Amino acid sequence: MSLPDHVQDELASAFGARFSVKAADLSHYAGSETFHRARLPDAVIWPETTAEVSFILSLCNANRIPVIGWGTGTSLEGHALAIHGGITLDLSRMAAILEVRPEDMLAVVQPGVTREALNADLRATGLFFPVDPGANASLGGMASTRASGTTAVRYGTMRDNVLALEAVLADGRIIRAGSRAAKSSAGYDLTALLVGSEGTLAIITELVLRLQGQPEDVAAAVCAFDTLEHAVDCVTATIQSGIPMARIEFVDAETARAFNHYAGTTLPEKPHLLVEFHGSGESVRGDAARFGEIAGEFGGLGFDWASTAEERARLWKMRHGAYPACLSLRPGATALVTDICVPMSELAGAVTAARDDIREAGLLGPILGHVGDGNFHATILLDPENAEELAAAKRVATRMAERAIAVGGTISGEHGIGLGKRDLMALQHGEAGGVMAAIKRALDPNGIMNPGKLIPG
């Protein structure tokens, strides 16, 4: 399929050089950070205003042309691939920070603003936007996939930090959901419905984000453990003790090896916890001391404190580089990244079962995670040309997902469904999958919004 001539003419005349059907421009949109690949879209447009997005959608809706939003391309489940062709909307030119209101602790941004760009802009205000998935993703993409990351244990996910939004529906209607007030009970929570809807219901064109005060003091440390079980049990005990963690991250021995290999660190090749505390100097010291006692009970092998901002930046840069670090363990590899999230009491069991499954399948799959939320990832390394390996990895991932569901957890803590987990949606949601499909039909009757994603097939 390619675009009908009249559509192509209309878009070319409306957008000029911001519309392209050239393979050289399109090839950027056919890949992803993981094993997911797809055909090229039929065209790409770089819109600059909400009105332009509305124009594109109503034209595409009238002509039954798929529209797929694109932020920075850092999603892990193939969300932004044009598997049924159509037009990719690259939102990177809608990157204005429209308003910052320190007195109301909120910022209004266009969807193409990245989290690092927003935080650079906020530096002087004493505020920051806390959601941190690692990648320098666009805030629109983070909202669309309901992203979270290392700080969710303290500050919540995109669900908790998007106060309001503007979005364009399939038929071009522009709506606003939510308000700038701290809470609202005025009708259906359309903000929460659109956050995490992965571009299948609307294109988000503006976000009102909740900001946080920059902590007076921060302390971060890394601590090794002899076994995975001890590290994970330490997390559970810490969370139950009520110590306010800003971050509590787990990496297994293989991930430590990957860091050493990729980032030149000299960590012992053992499981580690990486922790961070935010607060006043006194509270941070108290929290750190209490955590130290708990870690000691589980055989924690001493702390390496990152006391300066530069040391902390290095620590979290290492953590955020985990994905390329893991890939570097097997040159030329791509990966399937799992993402289950379970109740805390099930975490140790879920992590050890995953490790055993990966080992038994003969795969290499370092494990790490935002374990304060019960969320962890295995980065299963794959030869991109080896279909059997991919099939084996998918079997392991499916077993992990089934186990997560069996203990009341979820198949996706933060990466979303996209292409990669669609087959598991029925297992997770049963009849509720039909409700999602009914909502999709009601808002996108022609099925043009990111078709083939999220909704159970």
260-289 residues in contact with a copy of itself (CB under 8 A) are: 282-283, 286
Asked whether 180 and 104 are in contact (CB, 8 A), the reply is: yes
Q: Which residues pair with 89 in a beta bridge?
A: 45, 69
Q: How far apart are CA 244 and CA 72, in angstroms?
A: 32
Q: How far apart are CA 105 and CA 388, in angstroms?
A: 51
Q: Under the criterion CB under 8 A, does residue 409 sit at the interface with a copy of itself?
A: yes
Q: Under the criterion CB under 8 A, does residue 414 sit at the interface with a copy of itself?
A: yes
Asked whether 396 and 380 are in contact (CB, 8 A), the reply is: yes
Stretch that binds a copy of itself, among 60-68, 219-227, 266-274, 436-444 (CB under 8 A): 436-444
Q: Under the criterion CB under 8 A, does residue 438 sit at the interface with a copy of itself?
A: yes
How many chain residues touch a copy of itself (CB under 8 A)? Answer: 84
Q: Under the criterion CB under 8 A, does residue 254 sit at the interface with a copy of itself?
A: no
Sole residue written with tokens 């607060």: 279
Question: Which 368-397 residues touch a copy of itself, going by CB under 8 A?
Answer: 373-375
**What string marks each residue from 319 to 348 as x (binds a copy of itself by CB under 8 A) or -?**
----------------------xxxxx---
Of 169, 251, 273, 325, which one interacts with a copy of itself (CB under 8 A)? 169
CA atoms within 13 A on the CB side of 420: 33
Asked whether 436 and 455 are in contact (CB, 8 A), the reply is: yes
Closer residue to a copy of itself (CB): 163 or 267: 163
Of 97, 174, 329, 361, which one interacts with a copy of itself (CB under 8 A)? 174
Q: Return the closest-CA partner of residue 436 out of 203, 197, 176, 204.
A: 197
Q: Return the closest-CA partner of residue 409 out of 337, 345, 336.
A: 345
Q: Under the criterion CB under 8 A, does residue 442 sit at the interface with a copy of itself?
A: yes
Q: Under the criterion CB under 8 A, does residue 406 sit at the interface with a copy of itself?
A: no
Of 58, 121, 439, 446, which one interacts with a copy of itself (CB under 8 A)? 439
Per residue, the 3-state secondary structure of 344-385, as one string, reads: HHHHHHHHHHHHHHHHHCCCCCCEEEEHHHCEEEEEEEECCC
Q: Which residues pair with 208 in a beta bridge?
A: 108, 164
Write down the number of H helices and E strands in the chain.
17, 18
Closer residue to a copy of itself (CB): 158 or 322: 158
Closer residue to a copy of itself (CB): 300 or 418: 418
Q: Under the criterion CB under 8 A, does residue 184 sit at the interface with a copy of itself?
A: yes
Closer residue to a copy of itself (CB): 253 or 400: 400
| Sequence-separated (6 or more) residues with CB below 8 Å from residue 304 | 221, 222, 223
CA atoms within 13 A on the CB side of 340: 30
CB atoms within 10 A of CB 188: 8
Q: Under the criterion CB under 8 A, does residue 457 sit at the interface with a copy of itself?
A: no
CB atoms within 10 A of CB 302: 11
Question: Which 97-156 residues touch a copy of itself, going by CB under 8 A?
Answer: 101, 103-106, 145-148, 152-153, 156
- Minimum distance between the CB of residue 184 and a copy of itself, rounded to whole angstroms? 4
Of 40, 177, 211, 222, which one interacts with a copy of itself (CB under 8 A)? 177
Q: Under the criterion CB under 8 A, does residue 193 sit at the interface with a copy of itself?
A: yes
Q: Return the closest-CA partner of residue 297 out of 223, 230, 388.
A: 230
- Minimum distance between the CB of residue 180 and a copy of itself, rounded to whole angstroms? 3
Q: Under the criterion CB under 8 A, does residue 27 sit at the interface with a copy of itself?
A: no
Q: Under the criterion CB under 8 A, does residue 13 sit at the interface with a copy of itself?
A: no
Of 27, 384, 435, 457, which one interacts with a copy of itself (CB under 8 A)? 435
Of 13, 17, 124, 185, which one interacts with a copy of itself (CB under 8 A)? 185
Question: Which 204-223 residues touch a copy of itself, going by CB under 8 A?
Answer: 213
Q: Under the criterion CB under 8 A, does residue 229 sit at the interface with a copy of itself?
A: no
